[in-house]
A = this chain, B = another copy of it.
């Protein structure tokens, strides 16, 4: 190897390890969404484009319940590791948004209004007995990730919320338009609420991650956390597509009676 090439390699290596300026770091996080957020998945296009039959929408809703119902557990797992009271006080509102508190019914209840509207039995949905194993594995991996990774990285895994408002808007308009027989304003309440909740949460988490990732290594781990989370979401749509579009329904999983 010539000395010039060797020097260039060293320069590239050094550059790769350099701390990213905040704008570049944020761009790297956002690039993950552009590349692999689940709004790119064929099943998402089918869902909001009106290409699914009711049983397929039912399958989507009851599988997605697993994800919804895991979210408060992953948020509590994070809180259980925070020694900073102010950060706990900030984060706990996510728990309350999902589980509700007092008069406020919460996001999971709103999700069950959607599954009710789709004619699914509530106990069956909540039991998760008909959910795809791949869904459950993905969702529990997310809880474990947040329970075990460094705090900043765990927080970074929530940053798919940056990309959520777009998908929620598409879902609301697409589903209302395309499934008038079983989707109405009432059952779309979950997504409408998330339109205001998600940006507030995402802004806080992004700000935290940009400020608290102190080394290039931590920055990379945060970008990887967003990739990981995109995988958690993507796997769920892949499993739905394989089971309910390709027709490979695994043993024990929900079967459409249509």
A112 to chain B: closest residue by CB: B85
Residue A150 CB within 8 A of the other chain:
no
Question: Chain B residues near A99 (CB, 8 Å)?
Answer: 85, 88-89, 92
Contact between B80 and A74, CB atoms less than 8 A apart: yes
Residue from the set A79, A83, A96, A100 with the largest chain B CB neighbour count within 10 Å: A79
Task: Please tell me if the beta carbons of B108 and A101 are within 8 angstroms of each other in the complex.
Answer: no
| Copies per complex of this chain | 2
- Asked whether A227 is an interface residue with its Cβ less than 8 Å from the other chain, the reply is no
* Cβ–Cβ < 8 Å partners of A89 in chain B: 99-101, 106
A83: B residues at CB distance < 8 A: 69, 73
What are the interface flags for A72-111 relative to B under an 8 Å C-beta threshold, 1 for contact and 0 otherwise? 1110111111110100110011011001110000101000
* A69: B residues at CB distance < 8 A: 83, 85
Task: Report how far A82 CA is from B75 CA in the complex, Å.
Answer: 12
Q: A147 at interface (Cβ–Cβ under 8 A)?
A: yes
Q: Which 3 A-B pairs have the closest CB atoms?
A: A76-B80, A76-B79, A77-B80
